């Protein structure tokens, strides 16, 4: 018996990565009886028989994302272009909340660094304004060019032995980054979607791929605009630069909106908190309060 990770289910078979190769597996009958649902990312034990194998057991999941449906995700690589398409920081902040709420480690990657340098707005130094804001908050941030290869190896080192999902808007350079990370195995760049043949529902095809010694899902999912179900007071925890200051607010229940003696607003006035991040916080707070009213 060997341990592996399920990459995808397709056409009644399951493809498992174990001992440095992919095994086409079928299921033991008892799994079919139990109507066990497998997800890419599931850790399984397989029994190889000649060239094929059977899945014998599956470990409990550490976590499971719904969109995309992947289990045991270690980290989310949030991919945004530095230049074009213009980075939608509202979406980035939303994704950071979704990822933090799901207890998955976020890694921010700004792509198309080569274009940024050509940009007359660039100041020519290594200090790129948009990346500095997120790095100062404490997030892990990479700047990369899939075109020149700059920064690619650093990201590759973060993928080894982990399960990662790539998320971010179409055109940001997710597939190009994947290709740069795994030369020889080319993904189509540009927008692709595969319709499920199972019914009228169209689902995105989700699979994990071997990449830079880890497993990566390149998926247009996970870019939903909805915030997870949370209480208004919990939103502060998803903004690390707010959370570290909240105990200095006058009121324990401070939502950092209209309350007096708010440490977050004081930090904002001193320029220690990004006005854009604060603006997004207020937008999200309003959405969460509206969602609370519906229940």
Taking the complex as a whole, the smallest distance from the CB of residue 151 to Mg ion amounts, in Å, to 19
Which residues in the 155-214 window bind Mg ion by CB under 5 A?
174-175
Can you give the binding site for ligand GDP, defined by CB under 6 A? 111-112, 114-115, 145-147, 170-176, 189-191
Does 256 bind Zn ion (CB under 5 A)? Our answer is: yes
Structural contact between residues 68 and 99, judged by C-beta atoms closer than 8 angstroms: no
CB of 175 or CB of 274, closer to ligand GDP: 175
Measured between alpha carbons, how far is 78 from 92 in angstroms, rounded to an integer?
A: 7
For the CB of residue 4, give the shortest distance to ligand GDP in the complex, in Å. 27
The dihedral region occupied by 145, where left means phi > 0, alpha psi between -120 and 50, and beta the remainder, is: beta
CA dihedral for 42, 43, 46, 52, sign (positive or negative): positive
Residue 13 CB neighbours (<10 A): 14
**What is the spatial distance between Cα 50 and Cα 120, in angstroms, rounded to a whole number?**
60
Do 69 and 201 touch, CB atoms closer than 8 A? Answer: no
CA distance linking residue 53 with residue 14, whole number of Å: 9
- Map residues 235-254 to x or -, x wherever contact with Zn ion holds by CB under 5 A: --------------x----x
Given Mg ion, ligand GDP, Zn ion, none, residue 112, with its beta carbon under 5 to 8 Å by kind, binds: ligand GDP
Partner whose footprint covers residue 172, from Zn ion, ligand GDP, Mg ion, none (CB < 5 to 8 Å by kind): ligand GDP
Region binding Zn ion by CB under 5 A among candidate stretches 140-148, 182-190, 259-267, 279-287: 259-267
CB contact at 8 A, 158 and 177: no
Q: How far is the CB of 93 from Mg ion (least distance, A)?
A: 22
**Contact partner, 256, from Zn ion, Mg ion, ligand GDP, none, Cβ < 5-8 Å per class:** Zn ion
Residue nearer to ligand GDP on the CB measure, 106 or 173: 173
Tell me the Cα Rg of the chain.
21
Q: E strands within the chain?
A: 2-10, 13-18, 21-27, 43-49, 52-58, 64-65, 70-71, 75-81, 105-111, 140-143, 163-167, 209-211, 214-218
Q: For the CB of residue 217, give the shortest distance to ligand GDP in the complex, in Å.
A: 12
- Residue 8's binding partner, choosing from ligand GDP, Zn ion, Mg ion, none, with beta-carbon cut-off 5 to 8 A by kind? none
- Residue 108's DSSP bridge partners are 78, 141
Number of chain positions touching Mg ion (CB under 5 A) = 2
Q: Of Mg ion, ligand GDP, Zn ion, none, which one sits near residue 114, judging by CB under 5 to 8 A according to partner kind?
A: ligand GDP
In the complex, what is the shortest distance from the CB of residue 92 to Zn ion, in angstroms, rounded to a whole number? 23
Nearer to ligand GDP, 176 or 182 (CB): 176
DSSP labels, 128-181 = -HHHHHHHHHT-EEEE--TTT-TTHHHHHHHHTT-EEEEE--TTSSHHHHHHHH
Minimum Å gap between C-beta 120 and Zn ion is: 39
Shortest distance, position 148 Cβ to ligand GDP, whole Å: 7
> Which residue ranges make up the site for Zn ion (CB under 5 A)?
249, 254, 256, 262, 264
């Amino acid at each position: 018996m060997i341990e592996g990770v399920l990459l995808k289910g397709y056409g009644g078979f399951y493809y498992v990565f174990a001992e440095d190769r992919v095994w086409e597996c079928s299921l033991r009958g008892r799994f079919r009886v139990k109507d066990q649902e497998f997800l890419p990312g599931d850790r399984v034990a397989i029994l190889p028989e000649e060239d094929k194998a059977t899945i014998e057991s599956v470990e409990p999941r550490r976590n499971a994302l719904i969109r995309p449906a992947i289990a045991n995700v270690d980290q989310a690589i949030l991919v945004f272009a530095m230049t074009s398409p213009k980075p939608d920081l509202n979406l980035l902040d939303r994704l950071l909340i979704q990822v933090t709420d799901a207890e998955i480690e976020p890694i921010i990657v700004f792509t198309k660094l080569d274009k940024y340098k050509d940009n007359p707005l660039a100041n020519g130094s290594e200090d790129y304004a948009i990346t500095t804001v997120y790095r100062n908050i404490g997030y892990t941030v990479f700047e990369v060019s899939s075109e020149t290869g700059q920064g690619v190896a650093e990201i590759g080192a973060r993928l080894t032995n982990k399960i990662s999902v790539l998320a971010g808007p179409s055109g940001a350079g997710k597939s190009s980054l994947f290709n740069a990370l795994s030369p020889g195995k080319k993904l189509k760049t540009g927008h692709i979607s595969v319709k499920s043949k199972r019914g009228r529902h169209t689902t995105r095809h989700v699979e994990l791929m071997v990449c830079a010694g880890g497993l990566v899902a390149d998926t247009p999912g996970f870019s939903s605009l909805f915030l997870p179900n949370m209480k208004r007071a919990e939103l502060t925890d998803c903004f690390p630069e707010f959370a570290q200051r909240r105990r200095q607010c006058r009121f324990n229940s401070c939502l950092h909106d209209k309350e007096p003696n708010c440490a977050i607003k004081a930090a904002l006035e001193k320029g220690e908190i990004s006005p854009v991040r604060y603006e997004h916080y207020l937008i999200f707070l309003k959405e969460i309060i509206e969602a609370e009213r519906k229940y």
